Structure 1
Amino acid sequence: MRIAYLSTFYPFRGGIAQYNASLYHQLARNAEIKAYTFTRQYPSFLFPGQSQFVSSSDPADTIPSKRILDSINPLNRHLAAKEIQSWEPDLLLSKFWMPFFAPSLGKVSKILHKKNTKSIGILDNVIPHEKRLFDISLIKYYLRWQDGFIVMSEQVLDDLHQFVPNAKYEFFPHPIYSHFQPNIPLQEAREKLNIPPNKKVLLFFGFIRDYKGLDILLNALKLLPQDYHLIIAGEVYGNFNKYQEIIDRLQLQSSITLLNHYITDDEVPGIFSASDVCVLPYRSATQSGIIGVAYQYNLPVIATNVGGLQEMITPYNTGLMVEKIDPTELAKTIEQYFNKNLKEKFSANINLFKSKYNWENLAQAILDLYKRILSQ
């Protein structure tokens, strides 16, 4: 079986590329696979971060991908499809996380569909967090040319059914990452970050965007006792000014370790090893790859009950949910976690999630879905 995997791969960086690399390796054990990626992924107006590309200091997974697809040049799509078709794949696999990519990915799927190549879309989201004009038309176009779907949360499945009521799909939450280096001792990790060993350490990790609610967490931190400490680790989309204003106004400087840049793979073990809990104070969500990173380090999660976040936490008793998106409620839940000493219990429970939702099982779910598509 031949699988063409068209998505974000090296030299691009970030969680999407890391997800694709992990799945690529697993699929390669049971099929022939080629990775294809973008010549241009985002135009600058859609990517307010520092860079879309891996830096020389970041030891990225250098998947041997071929750069063929320009996301915004319609004249390029036939050429990209022709390049993939020349290999005669049985399956085209793509990843969908925002409508912007629908015209390019959807067109390639459409062309290959006419050549009897089946298409499966891995859906991070169907309806985006930050909505724009024409989203619905773009979403419909991409979904139309997929034969099946991998959905990561019930929220995504519900959204999919709004557009494709009879969709063929496999439900599979975001797997646990396994490519990062292992934990280091807590004391060593905190020494590297200049955090006192007796602090109760919260972690906010990943790209900083409005819907992720860092401002909510900062206001909650002000309500907590002085022995709490927050690590903010991630690159901001836009600028950090509004968060810095909150930090200054609430005089939180001494209670925060700020790592406001793209976090390289080498930095990840120390950050997670230094933390007692990962906090996701999101205003909206479907699922989260951050939970997959936290679980690699057996780090429990406190999250607002939005989208599909609870599906990765509540059934496995690996963290706490905050029912109201509010600093006071978040602060109360954080104190509950520490006052009841829940870290050890939740950390042990994470192993159940790890055994079920790993990359091997995801690869098998994709192959099973492909067989089901062929049979029907």
Structure 2
Amino acid sequence: MKIAILKERRDGETRVAATPESVKKLIAAGHDIQIEKGAGDNASMPDSLYEAVGAKTGTLAATLKGADVVYAVRTPDAETLAKLPKGCLLVGQLEPHGDKAQAKAFADAGINALAMEFTPRITRAQAMDALSSQSNLAGYRAVIEASQIYHRAFPMMMTAAGTIAAAKAFVMGAGVAGLQAIATARRLGAVVTATDVRPAAKEQVASLGAKFVAVEDEEFKAAETAGGYAKEMSKEYQAKQAELVASHIAKQDVVITTALIPGRPAPRLITKAMVEAMRPGSVIVDIAAPMGGNCELTKADEIVEHNGVSIAGYSNLPGRLAADASSLYARNLVNLTPLLVGEDGALAPHWDDEIIVGMTLTRDGKVVHETLK
């Protein structure tokens, strides 16, 4: 089948849906790869690298002509969407929860769409799970960004002139991003604590050498969905947890917030009053900024200064590691591709496979995903 790779047009998006490595694998599997010129430039992957492994590069029109499948990092803009061949399969991080009207636009355009965010959390789909691959890098980058903003060193240092105390880092949310943030902060020498509403997270946090902080009541013991996501907690639990967090956060130098609930605005974990209780020079990096933020003062794509505390709301942390983020995402797509073809190598999505069922937003001109109907 012919696979088209688009150049991302969203402001600040540096990633690309294919790398020379992934293209080589797709071509070896018998697919024809067409890449829009300049698609990989922001990820340090010029057209020449793609051409060297057998891909064709060209204009948007040439790239889309006769395309069976279109791989993208983010939802194409309206102008590009209008040029997609009717009946093609669009695969990308399509933000279905953030813009439900977009699914109807796909259906109206006759585009079959698969959202990488909806990859089921099952063992067989782990190698296709873009949320995990990108969140892992986001957690790492959040700590690196914090270290840039923080005006002190992370590790304890003993010198002839005196001792520098280690930074205290607090990670809120111990999913994929949070666990990587914990590991990174520990590698940089910080004293790390972490919290999460899921009981399973306690052991994971401890395994990375961090201390777990949470209200561990009966509600806490049942606070995880069958899919491994955090449940939304009751108002009573949130109040108790907020009280514990407020006293803990006042002693921290760096806070990384990662809490997200699929399909809902990010839960509010840090209030203005909590920020004001922190020491001047402290830093908050809010990974949940694109969904409204875990901190009351977060503004997407800004660093807000309040009472000497910096609150960073980067909305695309994986994009700040464009080459690696693109590489992992491209591998996710390569691993998904066998479920999109028949025995003859032509486009034939396995519509009854539980992975494809879970990812499908639109099919044959209709919105089919249960959460979007």
Alignment TM class, shorter chain as reference: 0.3 to 0.5
Q: Which has the higher contact order (CA 8 A, sep 6+)?
A: 2
Question: TM-score, length-normalised on structure 1?
Answer: 0.38
Which protein is richer in helix relative to its size?
Answer: 1
**Whose Rg is larger?**
2
